[in-house]
Chain A
Protein backbone atom coordinates (compact mmCIF):
# COMPACT_ATOMS: atom_id res chain seq x y z
CA UNK A 1 0.00 0.00 0.00
CA UNK A 2 1.25 3.45 -0.84
CA UNK A 3 1.81 5.80 2.04
CA UNK A 4 1.06 9.50 2.03
CA UNK A 5 2.39 11.00 -1.20
CA UNK A 6 3.22 14.66 -1.73
CA UNK A 7 4.19 16.53 -4.85
CA UNK A 8 6.40 18.14 -5.84
CA UNK A 9 9.27 17.14 -3.55
CA UNK A 10 11.17 20.38 -4.13
CA UNK A 11 10.11 23.77 -5.42
CA UNK A 12 11.78 27.12 -5.91
CA UNK A 13 9.59 30.21 -6.25
CA UNK A 14 10.12 33.97 -6.39
CA UNK A 15 8.68 36.39 -3.86
CA UNK A 16 5.15 37.41 -4.75
CA UNK A 17 4.40 34.27 -6.71
CA UNK A 18 1.75 31.68 -5.96
CA UNK A 19 2.34 28.00 -5.18
CA UNK A 20 0.17 24.88 -5.04
CA UNK A 21 1.25 21.81 -3.09
CA UNK A 22 -0.51 18.46 -3.42
CA UNK A 23 -1.12 15.54 -1.10
CA UNK A 24 -2.68 12.10 -1.56
CA UNK A 25 -3.61 10.37 1.71
CA UNK A 26 -3.34 6.69 2.48
CA UNK A 27 -6.12 4.74 0.82
CA UNK A 28 -9.17 4.75 3.07
CA UNK A 29 -8.06 7.78 5.09
CA UNK A 30 -10.50 10.66 4.97
CA UNK A 31 -8.64 13.29 6.97
CA UNK A 32 -5.74 15.37 5.69
CA UNK A 33 -3.75 17.92 7.67
CA UNK A 34 -1.06 20.35 6.59
CA UNK A 35 1.94 21.47 8.63
CA UNK A 36 4.78 23.91 8.05
CA UNK A 37 8.22 23.07 9.39
CA UNK A 38 10.83 25.80 9.40
CA UNK A 39 14.42 24.63 9.69
CA UNK A 40 15.29 23.69 13.26
CA UNK A 41 11.72 23.87 14.52
CA UNK A 42 8.88 21.43 15.07
CA UNK A 43 6.01 21.37 12.55
CA UNK A 44 3.29 23.99 12.96
CA UNK A 45 -0.35 23.22 12.18
CA UNK A 46 -1.87 25.00 9.17
CA UNK A 47 -5.12 23.24 8.22
CA UNK A 48 -7.11 20.08 8.71
CA UNK A 49 -9.77 18.75 6.34
CA UNK A 50 -12.19 15.89 6.75
CA UNK A 51 -14.82 14.83 4.25
CA UNK A 52 -13.99 17.92 2.17
CA UNK A 53 -14.75 20.31 5.02
CA UNK A 54 -12.28 22.42 6.97
CA UNK A 55 -12.11 21.14 10.54
CA UNK A 56 -9.29 23.24 11.89
CA UNK A 57 -7.10 26.19 11.02
CA UNK A 58 -3.84 27.26 12.60
CA UNK A 59 -2.47 30.75 13.08
CA UNK A 60 -1.50 31.46 9.49
CA UNK A 61 -2.42 34.45 7.30
CA UNK A 62 -5.18 34.38 4.72
CA UNK A 63 -2.56 33.95 2.02
CA UNK A 64 -2.71 30.28 2.96
CA UNK A 65 -5.71 28.27 1.79
CA UNK A 66 -6.49 24.64 1.17
CA UNK A 67 -9.15 22.31 -0.10
CA UNK A 68 -9.94 18.63 -0.16
CA UNK A 69 -11.32 16.81 -3.17
CA UNK A 70 -13.94 14.01 -3.37
CA UNK A 71 -11.13 11.43 -3.59
CA UNK A 72 -9.75 12.90 -0.29
CA UNK A 73 -6.61 14.28 -1.88
CA UNK A 74 -5.78 17.83 -0.90
CA UNK A 75 -4.12 21.00 -2.14
CA UNK A 76 -2.41 23.70 -0.13
CA UNK A 77 -2.21 27.09 -1.83
CA UNK A 78 -0.02 29.98 -0.79
CA UNK A 79 -0.37 33.39 -2.44
CA UNK A 80 2.00 36.35 -2.49
CA UNK A 81 4.95 34.29 -1.32
CA UNK A 82 7.33 35.78 1.22
CA UNK A 83 10.90 34.72 2.00
CA UNK A 84 9.62 33.52 5.37
CA UNK A 85 7.38 30.96 3.68
CA UNK A 86 10.48 28.92 2.86
CA UNK A 87 9.99 25.67 4.76
CA UNK A 88 9.21 21.97 4.55
CA UNK A 89 5.46 21.51 4.08
CA UNK A 90 4.16 18.26 5.48
CA UNK A 91 0.90 16.50 4.84
CA UNK A 92 -0.57 14.01 7.31
CA UNK A 93 -3.42 11.58 6.82
CA UNK A 94 -5.55 9.71 9.32
CA UNK A 95 -8.71 7.67 9.22
CA UNK A 96 -10.90 10.26 10.92
CA UNK A 97 -10.46 13.89 11.89
CA UNK A 98 -10.61 13.53 15.62
CA UNK A 99 -9.93 10.84 18.14
CA UNK A 100 -7.16 8.45 18.83
CA UNK A 101 -6.22 7.34 15.36
CA UNK A 102 -2.61 7.33 14.30
CA UNK A 103 -1.41 10.01 11.88
CA UNK A 104 0.96 9.25 9.02
CA UNK A 105 3.07 11.88 7.30
CA UNK A 106 4.35 12.22 3.78
CA UNK A 107 7.93 13.00 2.79
CA UNK A 108 7.14 16.68 2.50
CA UNK A 109 7.58 19.41 -0.10
CA UNK A 110 10.64 21.62 0.34
CA UNK A 111 9.65 25.14 -0.71
CA UNK A 112 12.36 27.74 -1.23
CA UNK A 113 11.32 31.34 -1.86
CA UNK A 114 14.00 33.58 -3.38
Chain B
Protein backbone atom coordinates (compact mmCIF):
# COMPACT_ATOMS: atom_id res chain seq x y z
CA UNK B 1 0.00 0.00 0.00
CA UNK B 2 1.24 3.48 -0.88
CA UNK B 3 2.51 5.46 2.07
CA UNK B 4 3.25 9.17 1.92
CA UNK B 5 5.45 10.87 4.49
CA UNK B 6 6.05 14.58 4.97
CA UNK B 7 8.97 15.99 6.86
CA UNK B 8 9.12 18.13 8.92
CA UNK B 9 5.71 17.94 10.61
CA UNK B 10 6.02 21.58 11.63
CA UNK B 11 8.25 24.44 10.57
CA UNK B 12 8.61 28.00 11.81
CA UNK B 13 10.61 30.56 9.82
CA UNK B 14 11.09 34.34 9.83
CA UNK B 15 9.49 36.31 7.02
CA UNK B 16 11.59 36.52 3.87
CA UNK B 17 13.29 33.16 4.22
CA UNK B 18 13.33 30.59 1.46
CA UNK B 19 12.20 27.14 2.58
CA UNK B 20 11.79 23.57 1.40
CA UNK B 21 9.09 21.10 2.34
CA UNK B 22 9.70 17.41 1.73
CA UNK B 23 7.41 14.60 0.64
CA UNK B 24 8.34 10.96 0.13
CA UNK B 25 6.27 8.04 -1.15
CA UNK B 26 6.92 4.32 -1.06
CA UNK B 27 5.65 3.15 -4.47
CA UNK B 28 7.13 4.94 -7.47
CA UNK B 29 4.35 3.77 -9.84
CA UNK B 30 2.50 7.06 -9.58
CA UNK B 31 0.46 8.92 -12.17
CA UNK B 32 0.97 12.35 -10.69
CA UNK B 33 1.64 14.27 -7.49
CA UNK B 34 -0.25 17.30 -6.29
CA UNK B 35 0.64 19.83 -3.59
CA UNK B 36 -2.17 21.43 -1.60
CA UNK B 37 -2.48 24.16 0.98
CA UNK B 38 -4.94 23.91 3.86
CA UNK B 39 -5.83 26.76 6.20
CA UNK B 40 -7.15 25.79 9.66
CA UNK B 41 -10.57 24.15 9.44
CA UNK B 42 -10.79 24.80 5.71
CA UNK B 43 -10.70 22.78 2.51
CA UNK B 44 -7.72 22.14 0.26
CA UNK B 45 -6.38 24.63 -2.25
CA UNK B 46 -4.46 23.15 -5.16
CA UNK B 47 -0.99 24.65 -5.54
CA UNK B 48 0.86 22.59 -8.13
CA UNK B 49 0.28 19.39 -10.11
CA UNK B 50 3.27 17.43 -11.41
CA UNK B 51 2.73 14.62 -13.88
CA UNK B 52 4.92 11.54 -13.52
CA UNK B 53 6.79 12.46 -16.71
CA UNK B 54 7.69 15.93 -15.40
CA UNK B 55 10.56 16.98 -13.18
CA UNK B 56 9.18 20.24 -11.84
CA UNK B 57 6.43 22.81 -11.92
CA UNK B 58 6.47 26.47 -10.98
CA UNK B 59 3.81 28.94 -9.95
CA UNK B 60 4.87 32.34 -8.71
CA UNK B 61 7.04 31.90 -5.62
CA UNK B 62 6.38 28.16 -5.54
CA UNK B 63 8.42 25.47 -7.23
CA UNK B 64 7.74 21.77 -6.90
CA UNK B 65 10.09 19.05 -8.05
CA UNK B 66 9.55 15.34 -8.52
CA UNK B 67 12.05 12.48 -8.50
CA UNK B 68 9.86 9.49 -9.16
CA UNK B 69 12.62 6.92 -9.07
CA UNK B 70 13.65 7.88 -5.55
CA UNK B 71 10.08 8.49 -4.39
CA UNK B 72 10.58 12.14 -3.46
CA UNK B 73 9.09 15.54 -4.09
CA UNK B 74 9.98 18.93 -2.69
CA UNK B 75 8.02 22.16 -2.50
CA UNK B 76 10.22 25.25 -2.52
CA UNK B 77 8.74 28.51 -1.27
CA UNK B 78 10.74 31.64 -2.04
CA UNK B 79 10.69 34.79 0.05
CA UNK B 80 8.15 33.48 2.55
CA UNK B 81 5.36 35.77 3.80
CA UNK B 82 3.08 35.57 6.88
CA UNK B 83 0.21 34.78 4.50
CA UNK B 84 1.99 31.55 3.57
CA UNK B 85 1.27 30.21 7.07
CA UNK B 86 -0.84 27.07 6.58
CA UNK B 87 -0.56 23.31 6.41
CA UNK B 88 0.92 21.97 3.18
CA UNK B 89 -0.15 18.53 2.01
CA UNK B 90 1.26 16.40 -0.76
CA UNK B 91 -0.79 13.68 -2.42
CA UNK B 92 0.08 11.03 -4.97
CA UNK B 93 -2.20 9.31 -7.42
CA UNK B 94 -1.12 5.85 -8.47
CA UNK B 95 -1.12 4.54 -12.01
CA UNK B 96 -3.31 1.59 -11.14
CA UNK B 97 -5.98 3.52 -9.35
CA UNK B 98 -7.54 6.90 -9.08
CA UNK B 99 -7.53 7.82 -5.43
CA UNK B 100 -5.14 10.22 -3.76
CA UNK B 101 -2.83 9.06 -1.00
CA UNK B 102 -2.07 11.99 1.30
CA UNK B 103 0.72 12.72 3.70
CA UNK B 104 -0.08 14.14 7.14
CA UNK B 105 1.18 17.56 6.11
CA UNK B 106 3.72 20.15 7.19
CA UNK B 107 2.41 22.97 9.35
CA UNK B 108 4.21 26.16 8.32
CA UNK B 109 4.34 29.33 10.39
CA UNK B 110 5.99 32.42 8.91
CA UNK B 111 6.84 34.93 11.62
CA UNK B 112 6.58 38.63 10.68
Chain A residues packing against B (C-beta within 8 Å): 4, 6, 33, 35, 40-45, 48, 55-56, 58, 88, 90, 92, 97-100, 102-108, 110
Is there contact, CB below 8 Å, between B51 and A42? Answer: no
List 5 interface pairs A-B (beta carbons < 8 Å), by A numbering.
A41-B104, A92-B44, A105-B46, A108-B42, A110-B41
Is there contact, CB below 8 Å, between A56 and B99? Answer: yes
Q: Does B103 contact A (CB under 8 A)?
A: yes
Name which residue of chain A comes closest to B4, CB basis.
A42
Q: How many residues of chain B get a CB closer than 8 Å to chain A's CBs? A: 25
| Nearest 5 CB-CB pairings of A with B | A42-B102, A105-B44, A45-B99, A107-B43, A98-B98
Is there contact, CB below 8 Å, between A42 and B103? Answer: yes
A97 to B89, CA, bound (A): 21
Is there contact, CB below 8 Å, between A103 and B97? Answer: no
